[in-house]
Amino acid sequence: MPLLPNDKVGHWVSEQASNSYVVAGSAHEITLINALIDAVYNYPYPKNALESEVKTLRGKLLAAAFDLLVSAEYYKSMGHSGWVYCPFPESEPFIYYPYTNVCPRCVLANDFQFHQANKPPSGTIGAITSKLLGMFFENLFERHGRKVEIHKGSEPVDTIFIDKTEKPHVYLFAEVKSAPLLTLPMAIKTEKLTQEIDSTVKTLLSHEKTSITQLYQTPINLLVPVRSSKTRSGWENRLYPIGFKANEKDTEWAYKGLVSLLKKNSDFFVSYAGFWLEALGEYQSEVKAKQPVFWFTNGCGQPAPRPETWPKRAKGDGYESISDGKTSVGMDRTDDIKKATYQVLKLGAEGKPEKGKKYLVGIVSNIHAVRHFDEYLTSLKDIIWTKDESGNVTKAAQLDPDTEFYNLFDGIISLTQTVARDSWIKKTFDF
């Protein structure tokens, strides 16, 4: 919905805002977002925790919930092919649909069995997460009584957050960089696979890429790693039923299945959150010896130690990764940080010199630059700037006393951490 012609901010800002539109979510997307955020606010937070500690944990849980929202979008495209047969344990074999290049059951025992992941292309991921993140923030604003409109912009603008309750109206032009930390694998119970060897039928004891011939109406589970004292690695998998895909046109099955799971099984979100939080900690940690859950995260790299059977890259030198740096989480991909910084500077330079207008710029994501914030953003986050058309100014004293200065970033915003140089951002994105 374009803004009204008389809703002026400045020439460039007004033009960009007028070309934007509100992204409307579908009923099943909105229902799942409500259920996920309910699960976060109803989470059993530590009773004696400080308010600041609860708020920090809540931010991480919101990011974990957002990953499930993105997962539902991924699951809807799940097909007959792309599964891997795991023969272990022999008493109860499963086929899995993983989102990193490894058998999810075996990696929990520190056994790296390569299988091609089912992750969507990066271009598709960006479009999906940008839309869903806007809807996710919209729900949070409504819960906290904040009337903030979220508009999809046009190049070079990703998203515009508009607050018309403020005088003057606030316009936050944001570069959105978001990607999930992880996606839970799917699992289906199967018969033992067999093969004929020398006229004898023998049980298959190796991993095999496989297709499922009767996918529709077949019960599907989500695999959630949980802590366990029963295994050597300290982890085991727990399966939660998510329902089934009815037919090839059924694109809502995972959304509905997750809503049902969240409402009927309170243990699911608690177990998932425990796994997600440990996976985030492993992703962030510089310790080389990783917990098995690390290998479920995007951007986790190559297996360590790498087994002799691990395959070489199909193209180029070296070995395959479990998940490469191009899939790094949130805004943590270095190329994305560089591009976002330039885009924010451009957005500021194009629209900032409009005196008396509340026009803000920043980066918005689901997860902050967990690994690369200090290296790429710490030295930039407090930069302020202005324009000098004379080309001769070397000191601030040479500028007109009324010269306005602007933040490079009014905000570097995410569910897990927000760095704000503006009071409106600080209060509006406080959940």
pLDDT digits (tens, 9 = 90+) for 69-108: 999 999 998 999 999 999 987 778 999 999 999 999 999 9
Residues 291 and 212 grouped into a single domain: yes
- Residue 14 pLDDT greater than 90, yes or no: no
- The tens digit of pLDDT for each residue in 19-33 reads 888 888 899 999 999
Q: Cα–Cα distance between 230 and 349 in angstroms, integer?
A: 59
Residues 55 and 37 grouped into a single domain: yes
Q: Give pLDDT, residue 128.
A: 85
Three-class SS state of 51: helix
- Residue 59 pLDDT greater than 90, yes or no: yes
Q: Give pLDDT, residue 173.
A: 95
Residue type, 302: Q
Look at the block and give the residue holding tokens 């095999």: 208
Residues 362 and 431 grouped into a single domain: yes
- Fill in the DSSP letter of residue 387: -
Q: Cα–Cα distance between 267 and 330 in angstroms, integer?
A: 26
Q: Cα–Cα distance between 220 and 37 in angstroms, integer?
A: 24
Q: How confident is the model at residue 205 (pLDDT cuts 50, 70, 90)?
A: confident
Find the helix or strand (DSSP H, E) in which 360 lies. Answer: strand 358-365
Q: Give pLDDT, residue 354.
A: 64
- Contacts (Cβ under 8 Å, ≥6 apart) of 257: 220, 241, 242, 243, 244
- The tens digit of pLDDT for each residue in 326-382 reads 888 999 999 999 999 999 999 999 888 666 568 999 999 999 999 999 999 999 999
Provide mean pLDDT across the span 219-226: 97
Residues 194 and 334 grouped into a single domain: no
* Contact indicator for 207, 85 with CB cutoff of 8 Å: yes
- Residue 126 pLDDT greater than 70, yes or no: yes
Q: How confident is the model at residue 7 (pLDDT cuts 50, 70, 90)?
A: very low
Three-class SS state of 411: strand
Residues 345 and 375 grouped into a single domain: yes
Q: Cα–Cα distance between 431 and 144 in angstroms, integer?
A: 8
From the number of C-beta atoms within 10 Å of its C-beta (0-12, 13-18, 19+), residue 190 rates as: middle
- Residue 398 pLDDT greater than 90, yes or no: yes
Nearest to 301 by CA among 208, 310, 105: 310
Residues 321 and 359 grouped into a single domain: no
**Which range, 10-14, 117-121, 196-200, 426-430, has the best average confidence (pLDDT)?**
426-430
- Residue 8 pLDDT greater than 80, yes or no: no
Residues 323 and 209 grouped into a single domain: yes
Residue where one domain finishes, among candidates 274, 304, 327? 327
Buried b (16+ CB within 10 A) or exposed e, 105-124: bbbbbebbbbbebbbbeeee
Residues 390 and 244 grouped into a single domain: no
Q: Give pLDDT, residue 154.
A: 84
Residue where one domain finishes, among candidates 327, 352, 376? 327
- Residue 123 CA: distances (Å) to CA of 79, 129, 244, 290: 20, 10, 27, 29
Three-class SS state of 16: helix
Residues 4 and 143 grouped into a single domain: yes
**What average pLDDT is seen over the chain?**
92
Q: Give pLDDT, residue 3.
A: 44
Provide mean pLDDT across the span 263-284: 97
- Residue 228 CA: distances (Å) to CA of 52, 87, 128, 280, 407: 30, 21, 35, 19, 48
Which residue segment(s) compose the domain that 386 sits in? 1-75+120-175+330-431
**Which range, 59-68, 167-176, 328-337, has the best average confidence (pLDDT)?**
59-68
Q: Cα–Cα distance between 338 and 405 in angstroms, integer?
A: 23
Q: How confident is the model at residue 119 (pLDDT cuts 50, 70, 90)?
A: confident
Q: Give pLDDT, residue 15.
A: 83
Residue where one domain finishes, among candidates 276, 303, 327? 327
| Torsion sign, CA atoms 104, 105, 110, 111 | negative
Q: How confident is the model at residue 2 (pLDDT cuts 50, 70, 90)?
A: very low
Provide mean pLDDT across the span 128-150: 95
From the number of C-beta atoms within 10 Å of its C-beta (0-12, 13-18, 19+), residue 172 rates as: buried
**Which range, 76-85, 118-127, 191-200, has the best average confidence (pLDDT)?**
76-85
Provide mean pLDDT across the span 226-235: 94
Q: Give pLDDT, residue 356.
A: 59
How many domains, the chain? Answer: 2
From the number of C-beta atoms within 10 Å of its C-beta (0-12, 13-18, 19+), residue 245 rates as: buried
- Point out the least confidently predicted range of 168-177, 195-204, 226-235, 302-311: 195-204
- Residue 9 pLDDT greater than 60, yes or no: no
Residues 224 and 302 grouped into a single domain: yes
* Contact indicator for 384, 408 with CB cutoff of 8 Å: yes
- Contacts (Cβ under 8 Å, ≥6 apart) of 317: none
Q: Cα–Cα distance between 173 and 201 in angstroms, integer?
A: 64
Provide mean pLDDT across the span 285-296: 93
The model's pTM is 0.93
- Residue 175 pLDDT greater than 90, yes or no: yes
Provide mean pLDDT across the span 134-138: 96
Q: Cα–Cα distance between 342 and 347 in angstroms, integer?
A: 9
Residues 107 and 190 grouped into a single domain: yes
Residues 127 and 162 grouped into a single domain: yes
Q: Give pLDDT, residue 10.
A: 54
Q: Cα–Cα distance between 412 and 418 in angstroms, integer?
A: 6
* Contact indicator for 96, 86 with CB cutoff of 8 Å: yes
From the number of C-beta atoms within 10 Å of its C-beta (0-12, 13-18, 19+), residue 389 rates as: exposed
